[in-house]
Amino acid sequence: METSFETQQASPGQRLSLIEDEHSVTSIVEAAMANTADPRLRFIMDALVRHLHDFLREVRLSDAEFEFALEFIARLGQATNATHNEVVLAADVLGLSTLVTVMNNSTRDGRTPGALLGPFYRANAPRYACGDCVVQDDAPGLPLLVSGTVRATDGTPLAGALVEIWQASPVGLYDNQDPNQPDRNLRGCFHTDEAGGYHFRTVRPAGYPVPTHGPVGTLLAAQQRHPYRPAHIHFIVAAPGYRTLVTQVFADEQDKLESDVTFGVHRQLVGNLRLHDHGRSPWGDVPAPFCTLQFDFTLEPGQQTFPKPPID
């Protein structure tokens, strides 16, 4: 028996919005999202769809490549757990995280550039007095004396500002990655003195690879990229009435600075690292060889906030 379907016919002159070719898809999707109540969400999603559609048309993505890409994204989620976020890592190695950080941290009026918080920030770092040493073990390492001044953009030294630091060891591991390190080794909170100065003693950190066990590692290998970050010290610098600065100061050889797998090395974040092969340290009475690293921070007026630690 024959079944007949009644189709709704467009009245003469009326043209239904239907897909006709690869270009018509974009405007039809945009129209479908046009009633989004939140104007910012509408703006972002509209631009996202437009750019993604243009991208697909530009690279002429095949069905197999599309399937592979979706599987790759699913694998990012599957490789994510309480101590490792592969999605964030993917954003890092594509330069997305650094781009967002650079866009949202103006260097106007001499403000210190921001940098990624990274996955190794932990709460409850030990509190130290200026000049103290953050090394809790006797593992070998080149002594490093770090010092500088915290100022506001108008030049005022900021007394009592918080300077929190964390870093990898001389073998390139954070305390939480290394059963040989005491808990919260190479982490510490300091407060600046009356002149806004801070100084502390540590060991020279090494560069280290980002995790490569997941799909991001596969991508890096396919791109023939090494997975290393150059040696750096993470800083949070905070004072009431000032926008909290989350940043990193780099202390490594020139060639390593240029190939950070996460693209984190802002020109202004390269510290003044010096190796001293004779004499004693300017403070702390450390015999040569030792290194010094000098770095000043400039905070802008704003709100003091504290980042949420990504791990315990």
Pairing state of beta strands 232-238 and 162-167? antiparallel
User: C-beta of 292: minimal distance to ligand BEZ in Å?
Assistant: 22
Cβ closer to Fe ion: 158 or 245?
Answer: 245
Of the candidates 199, 201, 229, 266, which one interacts with ligand BEZ according to CB under 6 A? 229
3-state secondary structure the chain: CCCCCCCCCCCCCCCCCCCCCCCHHHHHHHHHCCCCCCHHHHHHHHHHHHHHHHHHHHHCCCHHHHHHHHHHHHHHHHCCECCECHHHHHHHHCCHHHHHHHHCCCCHHHCCCCCCCCCCCCCCCCECCCCCECCCCCCCCCEEEEEEEEEECCCCECCCCEEEEEECCCCCCCHHHCCCCCCCCCEEEEECCCCCEEEEEEECCCCEECCCCCHHHHHHHHCCCCCEECCEEEEEEECCCECCEEEEEECCCHHHHCCCCCCCCCHHHECEEEEECCCECCCCCCECCEEEEECCEEECECCCCCCCCCCC
Cβ closer to ligand BEZ: 114 or 118?
Answer: 118
User: C-beta of 297: minimal distance to Fe ion in Å?
Assistant: 18
The residue count for the chain: 312
Q: Which stretch binds ligand BEZ (CB under 6 A): 23-31, 66-74, 111-119, 177-185?
A: 111-119
233 binds, among ligand BEZ, Fe ion, none (CB under 5 to 8 A by kind): none
Compute how many other C-beta atoms are within 10 angstroms of the C-beta atom of residue 10: 10
Of the candidates 90, 120, 148, 293, which one interacts with ligand BEZ according to CB under 6 A? 120
Q: What x-and-dash track marks residues 72-91 binding ligand BEZ by CB under 6 A?
A: -----------------x--
Q: What x-and-dash track marks residues 251-290 binding Fe ion by CB under 5 A?
A: ----------------------------------------
Nearest to 207 by CA among 162, 244, 140, 252: 252
Query: Does 92 interact with ligand BEZ (rule: CB under 6 A)?
Result: yes
Of the candidates 134, 152, 206, 210, which one interacts with ligand BEZ according to CB under 6 A? 210
Query: Does 161 interact with ligand BEZ (rule: CB under 6 A)?
Result: no
Geometric angle at alpha carbon 220, from 216 and 221, rounded to 5°? 115
Of the candidates 91, 112, 119, 147, which one interacts with ligand BEZ according to CB under 6 A? 119
Of the candidates 118, 148, 215, 217, which one interacts with Fe ion according to CB under 5 A? 118
Of the candidates 76, 79, 91, 116, which one interacts with ligand BEZ according to CB under 6 A? 116
Residue type, 25: V
User: C-beta of 224: minimal distance to ligand BEZ in Å?
Assistant: 19
Query: Does 143 interact with Fe ion (rule: CB under 5 A)?
Result: no
116 binds, among ligand BEZ, Fe ion, none (CB under 5 to 8 A by kind): ligand BEZ
92 binds, among ligand BEZ, Fe ion, none (CB under 5 to 8 A by kind): ligand BEZ
Residues 231-270 that bind ligand BEZ (CB under 6 A): 262
* Interface residues toward ligand BEZ, by CB under 6 A: 89, 92, 116, 118-120, 210, 229, 262
- Provide the binding-site residues for Fe ion, judged by CB under 5 A: 118
